[in-house]
Structure 1
Amino acid sequence: MGTFKIEGGHQLKGSIQPQGAKNEALQILCAVLLTPEVVTINNIPDIIDVNKLISLLKKLGVKVEKHARGSYSFQADDINLEYLESDQFKIDGRGLRGSIMIVGPLLARFGKGYIPKPGGDKIGRRRLDTHFEGLIKLGAKFGYSKEEQFYGVEAKRLKGTYMLLEEASVTGTANIVMAAVLAEGQTTIYNAACEPYLQQLCKMLNRMGAKISGVGSNKLIIDGVERLGGTDHRLLPDMIEIGSWIGLAAMTKSELTITNVSWNDLGLIPETFRKLGITVEKQEDDIHIPAHTDGYEIQSFIDGSILTISDAPWPGFTPDLLSIILVVATQARGSVLIHQKMFESRLFFVDKLIDMGAKIILCDPHRATVIGHDYKSTLKATTMTSPDIRAGVSLLIAALSAKGTSTIQNIEQIDRGYERIAERLRAIGAKIERLD
């Protein structure tokens, strides 16, 4: 199990470019199963979760060719459907939550799709009902083995229909969209997720020959087609990594430039950090964060009440950045209530920040009040373990701002979502070492 050794308390300086978007990559990679033609994808991040999915596609029979760092071509013209019912698939599929999105494409193109109960971050319940209820409405027969925790759907031909999703699930919407593009007739998905990464998937499918309208809204209308062709696609920069670097700059009082951020796809992220008093400057398509040598002050609501920052489906604030917001607030002037609505276990890492000296009151599994130190009391170095991707990076940011040397164990969790993070942080002056 790997460990990071971090010497904190140093100011950083320079520029850093965000990797390709992890959450977009998982959707886009599954979509290559919809066509026998070549699909070329660029800006793929070299991270554990994405590499696991590429490995899974190879075992399914997809031909994968790497052209350069982050650039691959995929051709699913000879799929091995027997692998789906093998014991090895039941092991491989469990290692990655994003593997659930192979079900829709396989069902649409080959008439059946299977998946073991997928893994992922331990951040609370993450139901799969939206995925399978949508596929059932398209005409699939659903099966589940409780003993093996193995799901399956089958259909000779899917038929378009109207559906109102119970929740605006991003992966659920992606799965249903990928199934509906090859269904017979028209499908309407209301209360669909509309994140930029889902928009990217729809735009790519349209270039492949799909007929999807309403992209960017919560109502998608899909006219099924007989087949899809190949295309080229480039992933957006990862908005969660961009938010992480904004938080890192503020906590370490560093001047950083985050390059090529695709401003139009960041939604509320810049403004939410500004509410914490952080200066976020737009320089063409870059973000510049000046050194906050005098600290930063949390805003109040108009009536003077304590600021609350909560997550919501897009275009609301992404839940993946609430951990970063919470850490950044520990050194602000003022107080803030963090309300994590979507996952009930995501705030349980705050005990590690409290051990470092942060003033945090965990109200319940969903809410925490943070009283900022205003740098009058710095965080203390400590030894900790990364519980999941986002909490792990939040603890890393805390360690980089703390006085002394910290260690973070179980860093494979961080590697699942952040590419070459130690190397990239050292390039801007961080004192971080990987111990394997």
Structure 2
Amino acid sequence: MSTFKIEGGFKLKGDLEPQGAKNEALQIICATLLTAEQTIIENIPEIRDVLKLIEILKGLGVQVARLAKGKYSFDASKVDINFLKTEEYAQQAAVLRGSIMIIGPLLACFGQGFIPQPGGDKIGRRRVDTHFIGLQKLGARFDFDRENKWYSVSTEKLTGAYMLLDEASVTGTANIVMAAVLAEGTTTIYNAACEPYLQQLCKMLVSMGAKIEGIGSNLLSIEGVSSLAGCTHRILPDMIEVGSFIGLAAMTASEINIKNVGIEHLGIIPESFRRLGIKVEQNGDDLLIKDTEHYEIDSYIDGSIMTISDAPWPGLTPDLLSVFLVVATQAKGSVLIHQKMFESRLFFVDKLIDMGAQIILCDPHRATVIGLDRKNTLRATKMVSPDIRAGIALLIAAMSAKGISTIDNIEQIDRGYENIDGRLNALGAHISRM
């Protein structure tokens, strides 16, 4: 297990460019299984979770070549479905939640798919019912081996169907869409997720020959085709990393220019930070964050405390609420952070409280933050990263704190942020990897 040693209190200055979007990459890489022709994917973030998924595809027999940094080719013409029955696959898939999205493509192309109960962040209950209910609607048989915790699906033929998803699950929608594009007939999906990641997946599939209508909405209509061709696809900038950098600049009172952010795909993220009083200036496709020595949280018209909460797209992504929470600790004013989706994602706040933050954890989903307006800076401490997003929030807190902090289990951070210590040190941070 590796550790970050952070000497806090330094201001950063310079340019940062976000990596490719992790959440999009996991879907797009799985979609390469849908064609026997070569696909080329650009701007892939070379982070732990993505590289693990690529290793799973290699085990399946997909020919993968790294053409340049972040640019890979995939050839799934010789997939060996028997790899799914090996112990190697069981170990690889069990620790990577994104691996569940190979099920839809494998079911569509080979009539079967197996996966152990997926792992990932320990942020609360994360159901997979949406995935398998949707696949069953398309004609799949589903089985769950409770003793060994294995899911399996099989079918002789997938047929288009009408379905109303019980939740707007991004990965669930992706799995169903990837199966439906090769199903016979028309599939109608209500309450579909419509995040940019899902839009990108649909656009890639259309470029491969799929017929999908309603992209960008929560109503998708998919007319199945018999086969898909190869394509070249470029992954969007990671909006979660863009938001993390905005929060980092604010907490450390730094001037950071975030370049090539894909502004049209950020939704309400920049405006949500402005509600915390942070000056976010747009210059073309760049965002400049400066003059953040003091920032004041807005309140509602009647003077009551503002709430920042997550919601399905085009609402605020839950992946950034940890960053919003830590940024609020040094603002002027108070805010209620309401994490609706996961019941364990706010439990990292005890470390921020140890650092001197004034936070009241109301329940597993809500925390009230009383901003210190930098009158009392955070204190250095020893921490452990419980998940990707809490990990980056703790790193941001440590960089603003006086003294030397340590963060253990930084493999969690590496799952979502590529070379984060090197990139920040280039701007003046003092982070050592041990």
In the superposition, the TM-score normalised over structure 1's length comes to: 0.99
- Residue pairs, 1:129-208, within 5 angstroms: 129-208=129-208
- Equivalences, count: 434
Deviation track 1:26-77 (CA, whole Å, cap 9, x = no partner) reads: 0000000000000000000010000000000000000000011000000000
Contact conserved, 1:12 with 1:249, CA < 8 A, in 2? yes
Residue deviations 1:299-331, cap 9 Å, x none?
A: 001121100000011111000000000000000
Distance 2:199 2:50 in 1: 19
Letter in 1 for 2:344: S
Structure 2 equivalent of residue 250 of structure 1: 250
Counterpart amino acid of 1:87? Answer: E
Q: Which residue of 2 aligns with 1:422?
A: 421
> Given residue 328 of structure 2, which amino acid in structure 1 is its aligned partner?
A
The answer for the alignment partner of 1:26 in structure 2 is: 26
Q: CA deviation at 1:169?
A: 0.1
CA shift, 1:271, in A, is 0.6
Task: Assess if the C-alpha contact under 8 Å between 2:64 and 2:74 holds in 1.
Answer: yes
Q: Determine the structure 2 residue equivalent to 1:335.
A: 334
Looking at structure 2, the residues matched to 255 and 89 of structure 1 have their Cα atoms a distance apart, in angstroms, of 45
Instruction: Note the alpha carbon deviations across 1:333-362, whole angstroms, 9 max, x for none.
Output: 000000000000000000000000000000
Deviations 1:115-173 (A, max 9, x none): 11010000000000000000000000001111110000001110001000000000000
Tell me whether 1:221 sits opposite 2:221 in the alignment: yes
Q: d(CA) in 1 for partners of 2:219 and 2:143?
A: 28
1:403 is the counterpart of 2:407? no
Paired AA for residue 81 in structure 1: I
Between the aligned partners of 1:345 and 1:151, the Cα distance in structure 2 is 25
Query: SS where residue 11 of structure 2 aligns?
Result: coil
TM-superposed CA distance for 1:88, in Å, is 2.1
Letter in 1 for 2:49: D
SS at 1:167's partner residue? coil
Q: Find the counterpart in structure 2 of residue 87 from structure 1.
A: 87
The answer to whether the Cα contact below 8 Å between 2:53 and 2:96 also exists between their aligned partners in 1 is yes
Matched, 1:59 2:56: no
Partner of 1:311: 310
> SS in structure 1 opposite 2:287?
strand
Q: Which residue of 1 aligns with 2:6?
A: 6
Contact 1:361–1:368 under 8 Å retained in 2: yes
Q: Distance in 2 between matches of 1:413 and 1:403?
A: 24
Instruction: Show the 5 A alignment for 1:70-85.
Output: 70-85=70-85
Q: CA-to-partner distance for each residue in 1:381-414, whole Å, 9 max, x for gaps?
A: 0111000000000000000000111010000000
Distance 1:261 1:9 in 2: 27
Point out where structure 2 has 5 or more consecutive residues left out of the alignment: none
Q: In structure 2, how many angstroms separate the alpha carbons of the residues matched to 1:291 and 1:5?
A: 27
Structure 2 contact 279–291 (Cα < 8 Å) conserved: no
Secondary structure in structure 1 of the residue aligned to 2:133: helix
| Deviation, structure 1 residue 112 | 0.5
1:368-407 matches, within 5 Å, as 368-407=367-406
Give the whole-Å Cα distance in 1 for the aligned partners of 2:19 and 2:355.
Answer: 29
Ranges of 4+ aligned residues in structure 1 off by more than 6 Å: none
* Map 1:326-365 → 2, pairs under 5 A: 326-365=325-364
Deviations 1:230-281 (A, max 9, x none): 0000000000000000000000000000000010000010010000000000
Whichever residue aligns with residue 178 of structure 2, its letter is M
Per-residue deviation, residues 74-98 of structure 1 (Å, max 9, x unmatched): 0000011111122222111101000
State whether residues 107 and 155 of structure 2, in contact with CA within 8 Å, keep that contact through their aligned partners in structure 1.
yes
Distance 1:302 1:30 in 2: 46
Cα distance in 1 for partners of 2:32, 2:305 equals 47
Match of 2:319 in 1: 320
Partner of 2:35: 35
Query: 2:98 aligns to what SS in structure 1?
Result: helix
Q: Which runs of 5+ in 1 are unaligned?
A: none
Q: Distance in 2 between matches of 1:96 and 1:222?
A: 28
Percent identity of equivalent pairs: 69
Does structure 1 retain, via aligned residues, the 8 Å contact 2:142–2:154?
yes
Using the TM superposition, give the Cα deviation of residue 291 of structure 1 relative to its aligned residue in structure 2, in angstroms: 3.0
For the residue of structure 1 that corresponds to 2:142, the secondary structure is: strand
Question: What is the SS of the residue equivalent to 1:298?
Answer: coil
Q: Whole-Å Cα distance in 2 between the matches of residues 255 and 218 of structure 1? A: 38
Q: Which amino acid in 2 is paired with 1:133?
A: I
Distance in 1 (alpha carbons) for counterparts of 2:292 and 2:21:
28
Question: 1:173-201: CA deviations, max 9, x gaps?
Answer: 00000000000000000000000010000
Work out whether residues 19 and 43 of structure 1, in 8 Å CA contact, stay in contact via their aligned partners in 2.
Answer: yes
Instruction: Please report the TM-score for the alignment, with normalisation by the length of structure 2.
Output: 1.00
